[in-house]
Amino acid sequence: MKILVVGSGGREHALVWKLHKSPLVKKIYAAPGNAGISKLAECVEIPSEDLTGLANFAEKNSVDLTVVGPELPLTLGIVDEFQKRNLRIFGPTKSAAMIEGSKVFAKEFMKKYHIPTASFKIFERPDEAIDFVKSSDMPLVIKADGLAAGKGAVIINDVNSGVSAIQKIMVEKIFKDAGDKVVIEDFLEGEEVTILAFTDGKTILPMPSSQDHKKIYDGDKGPNTGGMGAYAPTTIVDDRMMKRIYEQILEPTIVGLEQEGRIFKGILYAGLMLTERGPKVMEFNCRFGDPETQVVLPLLKSDLTEIFMSIAEGELSLEEVEWTDDFAVCVILASAGYPDKYEKGKEVFGLDKIEQGEDVLIFHAGTKKEGGKLVTSGGRVLGVTAVDKNVEDAIHKAYASVEKVRFEGAQFRRDIGYGVRRTKREYF
């Protein structure tokens, strides 16, 4: 069968890599893809937000299944466009993708269906938001309503930083229309984890828990990024906790969306804080996370293509999804200046010195070929994933490979996976 993967990042490279291993797959296209993806798939120059262009391509090339990586085409309605043409596609419809597309919708939805989350208030006027901050206890979290590439949430510890955040989001429009409204919510304390789940709108199959490191610097310091690394599984989500997450969060979310007429098929991403009072939702996403995908998919024993097809056909209940008992760690190498302004076109060296296999994987994110050379083309450039039975060995293996990669201004965190070595806490 022919598959089209939409997107160009490390997540999409991991998807292409896993789909390529399926005996069902004869051809993979990627739109637009990247330099790493081009070794496994035919890259086509169609932007991920060009819904009509992508649908036209799928029709013309008799694509059997389209897999959508990023959130933007999903929230724009790519699934609806493909379904109108009777084209098979993996992902939620525009109405279901609102769970990520609007923080306001997500928070009001959680309140309606009694899904545990932080207390919150919604504001459409900056002056009212500022007045609220001035009269509130700290810390608080201010979130832009719409999509902001993982950078739309700001933790504030004093009134001045709160006023500044509101000014930037709502007045200066650093996230454009995404900042027309803001959610201001209580700051949650605990351990942060990600739970990804396969779902066809009825059956829900959670994946191993993972933990993303969003801050740019070691020790979770500095501004938020799209993610500087991840590991899976975590030690803080055991079977009992996963059952609690399923019953209190995953199931009521999928059931609630169905009751709203928003059938959710695809990947439900639950970003959770495990507090002393139990798991609470910080955010929902409507797709695979990045870089969580780069540590979860290497642990999947089952055929990903079969799973995607069963979800698209509403037959996930017939699937038996199996996972290994290994650990996976991914370290992101980013451009100098990221997550703010950064330069592109820096030549990448050293990948030929890394012995890649099932236990060491290089996922390209912001790369391209230029004059026969591999150069940087994004903020996050590469993800180095290592897999091992022992987490310490996986971490060591990942960093041994990272040290071989060079490009001007390369930056990376040196503490990815530290969370897995923390003392386990009880939340019951």
Q: What's the CA gap between 396 and 392, in Å, rounded?
A: 6
| Distance separating alpha carbons of residues 391 and 398, to the nearest angstrom | 11
Q: What is the pLDDT of residue 148?
A: 87
List the structure tokens of 263. Answer: 């059938």
Residue 118 confidence (pLDDT) above 50: yes
Rounded CA separation 112/204 (Å): 21
Residues across the chain: 428
Distances (CA, A) of 277 to 117, 188, 260, 425: 11, 11, 28, 12
Torsions phi, psi for 143 (to 5 deg): -125, 130
- Which pLDDT score, from 0 to 100, does residue 427 have? 25
Question: Looking at the structure, do residues 224 and 312 belong to the same domain, yes or no?
Answer: yes
372-415 confidence digits (pLDDT tens): 999 999 999 999 999 999 999 999 999 999 999 999 999 999 99
Could you tell me which residues come within 8 angstroms of residue 239 by beta carbon, excluding any fewer than 6 positions away? none
Are 247 and 195 in a shared domain?
Answer: yes
**pLDDT given for residue 421 in this prediction:** 46
CB burial of residue 428 (10 Å; 0-12, 13-18, 19+) = exposed
The predicted model gives 357-376 an average pLDDT of 96
Percent of residues, the chain, with pLDDT higher than 90: 94
pLDDT at 426: 30
Residue 428 within a domain? no
pLDDT confidence bin for 419, thresholds 50/70/90: low
Q: Has residue 103 been placed in a domain?
A: no
pLDDT at 38 over 70: yes
171 vs 175: CA distance, rounded Å: 10
**Last residue of some domain: 91, 116, 146?**
91
Q: What is the rounded (10 degree) CA torsion for 52, 83, 107, 255?
A: -170
Whether 226 is in a domain gets the answer yes
Is the same domain home to 396 and 292?
no
Residue 288 maps to a domain: yes
- pLDDT, residue 190, reads 94
| Integer Cα distance of 73 and 81 in angstroms | 10
Q: Which of 142, 253, 137, 132 is nearest to 202 (CA)?
A: 253
348 and 409 part of one domain: yes
Residue 164, classified by CB atoms within 10 Å of its CB into exposed (0-12), middle (13-18) or buried (19+), is middle
Domain encompassing residue 64: 2-91
User: Which of 318, 351, 379 corresponds to the end of one domain?
Assistant: 318
Task: Give the separation between CA 152 and CA 225, rounded to whole angstroms.
Answer: 10
pLDDT tens digit string along 224-264? 899 999 999 998 999 999 999 999 999 999 999 999 999 99
Does 426 fall in a domain? no
CATH number at residue 399: 3.90.600.10
**β 65-68/42-43 pair status:** unpaired
Do 231 and 308 have their domain in common? yes
Inside any domain, residue 21 = yes
Q: What is the mean pLDDT of residues 128-141?
A: 96
- What's the CATH code of the domain at 138? 3.30.1490.20
pLDDT at 335 over 90: yes
CATH number at residue 275: 3.30.470.20
Which one-letter amino acid corresponds to residue 251?
E
Asked if 276 and 427 count as a contact pair (C-beta separation under 8 A), the reply is yes
Q: Which residue has the higher pLDDT, 421 or 284?
A: 284
157 found inside a domain: yes
pLDDT exceeds 50 at position 423: no
Residue 75, domain member (yes or no): yes
Asked if residue 361 lies in contact with residue 351, where contact means CB atoms within 8 angstroms, the answer is: no
Tell me 233's DSSP state. Answer: S
Amino acid at 397: K
* Dihedral of the alpha carbons of 392, 393, 398, 400, in degrees to the nearest 10: 110
255 with 281, same domain? yes
- 222 and 168 belong to one structural domain: no
Q: Is the pLDDT of residue 285 over 50?
A: yes
Whether residues 209 and 308 share a domain: the answer is yes
- Give phi and psi for 75, each to the nearest 5: -70, -20
Say whether pTM exceeds 0.85. Answer: yes
Name the domain count of the chain. 4
**Domain closes at, from 262, 289, 318:** 318
What's the rounded Cα separation, in Å, for the pair 47 and 33?
A: 9
Question: Do 216 and 153 reside in the same domain of the chain?
Answer: no
Token couple for 201 = 């709108």
- Distance, CA of 16 to CA of 398 (rounded, Å): 21
State the pLDDT confidence band at 59, using cuts at 50, 70 and 90: very high
* Per-position b or e across 317-346, b if 16+ CB within 10 A of its CB: eebebeeeebbbbbbbbbbeebbeebeeeb
Do 204 and 294 sit in the same domain of this protein?
yes
